[in-house]
Amino acid sequence: MKEILRHADVRRLLFATALSTLGDQALWLALGIWVKTLTGSNAAAGMVFFAFTLPSLFAPLSGYVVDRTRKRSALRFANLATLLLVCALFFVQDEHDVWLVYVVVFGQGIAYTFLGSASSAMLRVLLPDEQLATANGVRQTGNELMRLLAPLAGAGLFSLVGPRAVVGFQLGAYAIAALLLLRVRTPGDVVVREQLRWRAELAAGVRHVWTTLPLRQLVGSIAVVLLVVGFLETISFALVTEGLHRSASYVGVVFMAQGLTAVGGGLSAGAAVRRLGELRATAVGMALIAIGSVVCIESVTVVVVVGVGILGFGVPWVVVALFTAVQRWTPAVLQGRVYSASDTLISTPQTISIALGAGLSAVVDYRLLLGVIGVVVAACAMYLSTRPRIEPAEVTTPSGQFAASAH
């Protein structure tokens, strides 16, 4: 890790990414509370989160753009555009202006897809293959730390000072991130020159995932896992209120354990991926998620906290392994599109799972759903653990399909 952080450009990139994550998470959390306060409607408040996640369905478009621009330029543009867009929140006065909140949050969601794709592609430019897993582990650790701080920065500032203080905080976070990105140098950045029809170019990311065996195995397995893990978003309230017999607000206390152990998971994930390879490190992470889910069936507070902690430790191993696999198994000219395609392929099942879990939780005991999660995730872990470890050969650009120019 020290070697990664000694790299000035990587250090600036990771810090800028963490600040952007903190600003995003704090702001949309505070905006949900703000909309609830202005309208008194839970549905209206929930639309804030929907507006933020909706652009993820169109992430391949972001990847398409990222591959045709310098990665640093894409990051700078996303940061500065969000900075200007968020200023519109100062004009929100009452419930009649809530539409403006949705527009800003939707724009944030679009920028978020650019930030993920471009930052992943930039790490691939800045670092050799053997350092990518460590860098992704550091990035994931930073993101988890920011998610722990976000409720304090978002809900805390909102309660103490008001919504405009949170807006100011987010503007400050993005301004510092933008300044850091101005100092990042990417001499090996690659820009693709368009030669195929735009539809074929957009589909190139999905096509690469499908035709590259390790990526197909990894992304397919994670998609299946998220098709059931999304249940946790809705059954967590049943777990706390029915299982532990506590108020719904206790969900935040219980799942703080997930955030704390996720930091440890992020710190250890890079070494695990280097030692085990992407597929088997993912299998171990999935096994921990399965174990944690099953442990939570026992309706005792201490046991549930332990179970959630085990689950939280396993999640970063899966995330870091996926990021690293995408970077290592993808040629430079496809980095943006493959990252975006992978993100869409796994986020869509998760969205479906959240909605499905909401319906099932009304008619099925939450303990049964936890058992289903455990069984499905364990099966995927077993499948990946039996796949042979394959090291990527030198990745070359498919002849006649893409041309690139180095800058």
Q: How many helices (H) does the chain have, and how many strands (E)?
A: 18, 2
- 262 and 336 in one domain? yes
Q: Cβ-count burial of 278 within 10 angstroms (0-12 exposed, 13-18 middle, 19+ buried)? A: buried
What's the rounded mean pLDDT across residues 180-198?
63
Among the candidates 154, 174, 191, a domain finishes at 191
- 214 and 289 in one domain? yes
Q: Are 285 and 314 a contacting pair, CB within 8 Å? A: yes
Residue 405 lies in a domain: no
Residue 223 lies in a domain: yes
Q: What's residue 198's pLDDT?
A: 52
- Please state the domain count of the chain: 2
Please, what's the b/e burial string for 182-210 (b: 16 or more CB within 10 A of its CB; e: otherwise)? eebebeebbbbeeeeeeeebbbbbbbbbe
Both tokens of 335, joined, read 């980095």
Question: What's 95's DSSP letter?
Answer: G
pLDDT bracket for residue 194 (50, 70, 90): low
Picking from 46, 375, 373, the residue whose alpha carbon sits closest to that of residue 227 is 373
User: Whole-angstrom Cα distance, residue 153 to residue 160?
Assistant: 10
Contacts within 8 Å (CB) and 24+ apart, 367-372: 367/243, 367/297, 367/299, 369/231, 369/235, 370/231, 370/235, 370/239, 370/293, 370/294, 370/296, 370/297, 371/293, 371/294, 371/297, 372/228, 372/231
- 66 and 171 in one domain? yes
User: Whole-angstrom Cα distance, residue 314 to residue 325?
Assistant: 17
Residue 15 lies in a domain: yes
What is the identity of the amino acid at 36? K
User: Whole-angstrom Cα distance, residue 33 to residue 27?
Assistant: 10
Residue 403 lies in a domain: no
**Distance separating the N- and C-terminal Cα atoms of the chain:** 28
Q: What is the dihedral of CA 398, 131, 340, 100, to 10 degrees?
A: -150
Question: What's 190's DSSP letter?
Answer: E
User: Whole-angstrom Cα distance, residue 127 to residue 375?
Assistant: 38
pLDDT in tens, 128-183: 888 888 888 888 888 888 877 776 777 777 778 888 888 888 888 888 888 888 88
Position with higher pLDDT, 338 vs 397: 338
Helix (H) or strand (E) run with residue 113 in it:
helix 98-126
Picking from 26, 23, 30, 60, the residue whose alpha carbon sits closest to that of residue 45 is 30
Q: What's residue 249's pLDDT?
A: 57
- 129 and 9 in one domain? yes
- 147 and 255 in one domain? no
Residue 407 lies in a domain: no
- 217 and 185 in one domain? no
Instruction: Reduce the DSSP state of residue 388 to 3 states and report it.
Output: coil
User: Whole-angstrom Cα distance, residue 60 to residue 361?
Assistant: 32
Picking from 136, 171, 138, the residue whose alpha carbon sits closest to that of residue 153 is 171
pLDDT in tens, 246-267: 875 576 667 677 888 988 999 9
Both tokens of 317, joined, read 């191993």
Q: What's residue 404's pLDDT?
A: 35
- 210 and 115 in one domain? no
pLDDT bracket for residue 197 (50, 70, 90): low
- 178 and 68 in one domain? yes
Among the candidates 174, 191, 208, a domain finishes at 191
Residue 221 lies in a domain: yes
Residue 149 lies in a domain: yes
Kindly report which listed range (117-131, 194-208, 281-295) carries the lowest average pLDDT score: 194-208
- 319 and 187 in one domain? no
DSSP for 32-69 reads HHHHHHHH--HHHHHHHHHHHHGGGGGHHHHHHHHTTS
Average pLDDT over all residues of the chain? 82
Q: What's residue 396's pLDDT?
A: 44
DSSP for 277-308 reads -HHHHHHHHHHHHHHHHHHTTS--HHHHHHHH
Question: What's 196's DSSP letter?
Answer: S
- 130 and 20 in one domain? yes
What's the rounded mean pLDDT across residues 104-110?
88
Picking from 32, 173, 41, the residue whose alpha carbon sits closest to that of residue 102 is 32
- 200 and 77 in one domain? no
| Domain harbouring 10, CATH code | 1.20.1250.20
Most confident option among 67-71, 85-89, 169-173, 336-340? 85-89
Q: What's residue 185's pLDDT?
A: 76
Instruction: Reduce the DSSP state of residue 180 to 3 states and report it.
Output: helix
Half-sphere exposure (Cβ direction) of 354: Cα atoms closer than 13 Å: 9
- 125 and 233 in one domain? no
CB atoms within 10 A of CB 253: 13
Expressed as residue numbers, the domain containing 54 is: 1-191
Residue 165 lies in a domain: yes
Picking from 16, 110, 139, the residue whose alpha carbon sits closest to that of residue 72 is 16
pLDDT bracket for residue 380 (50, 70, 90): very high
Helix axes 98-126, 59-66, angle to 10 degrees: 50
Q: What's residue 317's pLDDT?
A: 96
